[in-house]
Amino acid sequence: MKDVPSEKVKEYLDLFDGDVLQAVRALREVGYGKPAAPAAPRRPLSDEVLIRVEDLKKSYKVGKQHVNALNGVTLDVHKGEFLALTGASGSGKSTLLQLMGGLDKPSEGSVTIHGNKLASLNDKKLSEFRNKTVGFVFQFFYLQPFLRLRQNLEVAGMPARTKRPVRRERVAQLAEVVGLGDRLEHFPKELSGGQMQRAAIARALLNNPEILLADEPTGNLDSENGKAIIDLFEKIRNEFGTTIVVVTHDAAIAARADREISLKDGVLL
């Protein structure tokens, strides 16, 4: 890496047992080898920008402490793109994801989707946007333990007032897509961790969202199940054209995304 002392490179290579990719990412997280521009995407991007983030800033007050989570992020996410957001804990990744999904409002700047600035939408319009346009996947599965998998998936269609026959047909279709077609009558406790995360992804897709936002979706999974989730994201993007943004510490996800963007101290590297 350019401008990195050779002894520092050796130190990090030793730390990661010779894994160059991990060493480079770790060095960048602590400020070495900062790229002059974001890396080129791994596959051609659509000309259509679906999510436009402009000079986004977000501050919180925690007790007497003032925290700047984002310090002026500008970013375009293209239609059909699989984007990985990486960076150390506290870099602003999850805050950026939440603002993209309309789960929070920025202190300054804007997130625009289909010409609509999310911060300008009233509560009703914002709820409609989240129900119809965005699906959310989190590190924890949030499946109701007293409901069978079929009911857990169907619940996601209720706020959108999807008719029950349509919901049931969509649930069956998505269960097959994520490899759980034979598990619909099982309770969550009868599923493995990987199966529960696949169920959470199916639930997020129930209303056929254009955008899937995932926050550390493999954080509670072993490497084999983590790889299965990455495979599933690629399948979803390829079959449904879904735009996927994933916050991750997992180098395997970042390596297979179309593009990786790193943050540090609330700004893009």
Assign residue 48 the CATH number of its domain. 3.40.50.300
Count of CB atoms situated within 10 Å of the CB of 64: 5
Query: pTM above 0.85?
Result: no
The number of distinct structural domains making up the chain is 2
Q: Are residues 55 and 150 in the same domain?
A: yes
Instruction: Tell whether 135 and 239 lie within a shared domain.
Output: yes
Domain co-membership, 93 together with 183? yes
Per-residue model confidence (pLDDT) at position 3: 56
Q: Tens place of pLDDT for every residue, the chain, 269 residues?
A: 445 666 666 665 666 566 666 666 666 655 555 444 455 567 778 889 999 999 999 998 877 888 899 999 999 999 999 999 999 988 999 999 999 999 999 999 999 998 899 999 999 999 889 888 999 998 888 899 999 999 999 887 776 677 788 888 999 999 999 999 999 999 999 999 999 999 999 999 988 999 999 999 988 888 888 889 999 999 999 999 999 999 998 888 888 999 999 999 999 98
Same domain, 1 and 54: no
Write the secondary structure of the chain as one string of H (helix), E (strand) and C (coil).
CCCCCHHHHHHHHHHCCCCHHHHHHHHHHCCCCCCCCCCCCCCCCCCCEEEEEEEEEEEEEECCEEEEEEEEEEEEEECCCEEEEECCCCCCHHHHHHHHCCCCCCCEEEEEECCEEHHHCCHHHHHHHHHHHEEEECCCCCCCCCCCHHHHHHHHHCCCCCCHHHHHHHHHHHHHHCCCCCCCCCCHHHCCHHHHHHHHHHHHCCCCCCEEEEECCCCCCCHHHHHHHHHHHHHHHHHHCCEEEEECCCHHHHHHCCEEEEEECCEEC
Shared domain for 15 and 120, answered yes or no, is no
Could you tell me if 28 and 50 lie in one domain?
no
Same domain flag for 56 and 98: yes
Q: Are residues 116 and 174 in the same domain?
A: yes
- Same domain assignment for residues 87 and 186: yes
Q: Are residues 61 and 191 in the same domain?
A: yes
Find the domain containing 28 and state its range.
Answer: 1-34
Please indicate, yes or no, whether residues 120 and 62 belong to a single structural domain of this protein: yes
Whether residues 20 and 48 share a domain: the answer is: no
pLDDT at 112: 97
